[in-house]
Structure 1
Amino acid sequence: MNTSDTNNTPQCYSIRSPPFNYTHPINSVYFSSIFSALGITSNLIAFIVLIKSFRRTHNRSRSFFLIFLGGLVITDFMGLLVTGSIVVSFHLTHFNWRQVDPNCHFCNFMGMSMVFYGLCPLLLSATMAVERFTGITRPFARSTNMPKSRTVSMVLMVWLVAGCIALLPLTGIGSYHIQIPGSWCFFNISWNGSDMVFSLLFSLVGLISIAVSFLLNTVSVVTLIKVCCGQDRTQRRRDHEVEMMVQLILIMIIASISWCPLLVFIAQTVLARKGFQSVYLLLYIRFATWNQILDPWVYILFRRAVLKRVYPRLDWSRGSIMTLYPSFQNTIRRFTRSSLGSNLGSDETGETEMSNVTASIFKK
């Protein structure tokens, strides 16, 4: 699989072979070093914050959410550490890939890492959206005694799915190749044979994950707004869920802005059957890297403990955004009552009817 039949050239060098004469400013040791150092530091800080939050929390739903966030932080950290160390090493030493890696093992490893650590955040974001959708719209569908190990198993399952996709080029579906300027490897974006299949698979999995996140998060937010517009006692119980949804929405927005240009570029290149300039691919890859850099700051900054210090006058325990603007609250309440036949509303009706029946029985 690693050699062609014509000239015994290893497959990862069969389309383009180093060294390359490429001097674009984006191909710089400064770009790579700053991106890697900033991302690794951010994820380390976020991991420490998550551990402290996990130890302090007594809310089961929040503990599940923090496990997902921990998996996302670990994935982003390892992705930047593995791929960043290779790219920075190339820029510092300018080693020749064909001499260091004559059989393409190292190139295949980096290509797998790029695919694995690229898909994992998108798949984890979609999985988190599913978990929050279930927790908010179907609160009784999940067992209250569900062990935390099941959440860990879901994170491991996401890693397994992303790993299986990353391994496909080693089985003949797609192929990993050295990319200009010679500092990294990625799958071959082409409209020929198995390369087209893998390119579309990578692009569609990423775009579908973003679409699922957007759809489920939208439903969850609208349902949560309906609940928060109820009594104050309900609002206090929903504080943690509001915080989790704010973080999840920001994660989704960052992932969409960072990854959509690359995913659309890959799909458009393959379906249009046209070539592309390497500078665009490198630019979109750099753009996607911002997802791993910005994600940690969502967990670091957008917490109630931080927001209370930034704006202490706001009554965070009662969701005073709603109470400060009663007209807005009434408008939202009328909208949600008319547009949503939510299960939460039906549950409240059922509880009211049950209490009335119980009261009448005791009166008798």
Structure 2
Amino acid sequence: MTDSRPQAKPLATGSSPSLEASASSGPIRAVKLKHPWRNVIAVVIIIFAVLFVLDASQRTAYDWPSVGKYIFDRRVSEAALNTLQLTVYSMIIAVTLGIILAVMRLSPNPVFKSVAWFYLWVFRGTPVYVQLVFWGLLAIIYQSIDIGIPFMQPWASFQTTAALNTFTLAVIGLALNEAAYMAEIVRAGLMAVDRGQEEAATALGMTWFQTMQRVVIPQSMRVIIPPTGNEVISMLKTTSLVTAVPYSFDLYTRTRDISAETFNPIPMLLVASIWYLFFTSILMVGQYFLEKRFARGVGDRKPEKSEKVSLATGVLSTVPDSTGALPLPIADKNGGDSR
């Protein structure tokens, strides 16, 4: 008696059963994964945000008419400009001094390395407010500023109070404190560049300056820019402490003085916060574009096409993977080598 059931066709040598099954079943239809709880949480957050805004708009303690009255007041706008100047001047000095300290930390000279380490130990180990108080008392500690050779008659002498006003003292105090942090940021960026890059540049005949300008610094900026942007934003808010110098024409101190006159501090705090948020938003946008510029060619490339298998023919595509390696051959439907 002959068996009438269809016999299974034997697979050719080297053929893939999974490819045969995939080819017969047709293309795979991908179904997007649903996240219902994520949507629920998002709706709840939006509802709470709307309720908070509606509640804040009806609170009499905020006194929104006073906020609108003083937001563009001449005294407030001038104080905002002074705050911006404090931030810019302090960061310029801090970045310059931070680069010098970072190079000293990386120097093989033990004297340079020790001086830089001592500077960082002092200025990172004491609060910035305490340092600003010391700068405010500089005229008591040093009554005059003498220029000349030590232990000899000075060439020129100036009274400290006449040579350094409170604005200058505030800039110096903020800059010297920030330089200690910028030094570590710059040092981390320089150390992030592979040593082989510098050796390759030297082998090409580049000088030390050319190597730093064309090879090391462009690559280290990708590491330096993000924390530096954070430090600039932090410096903008740290200017509210210059009242310790004492300098009383920054944004926070000026709005505080106005609130002492009106006996209504909450609206003036909102005015100061709005100005701080305005400057911070501009700095964040600038930081974004700087990061995007220095990250060109790194981490922003689209992933290359992966190896693809044709379900119809069982042939492996010849597109290389992300490592540049060619794919391994896979037998086609008829058992032959696809290469």
Superposed pair shares fold, TM > 0.5? no
TM-score, L = length of structure 2: 0.27
The structure carrying a bigger helix percent of its residues is: 1
Larger radius of gyration: 2
TM-score, L = length of structure 1: 0.25
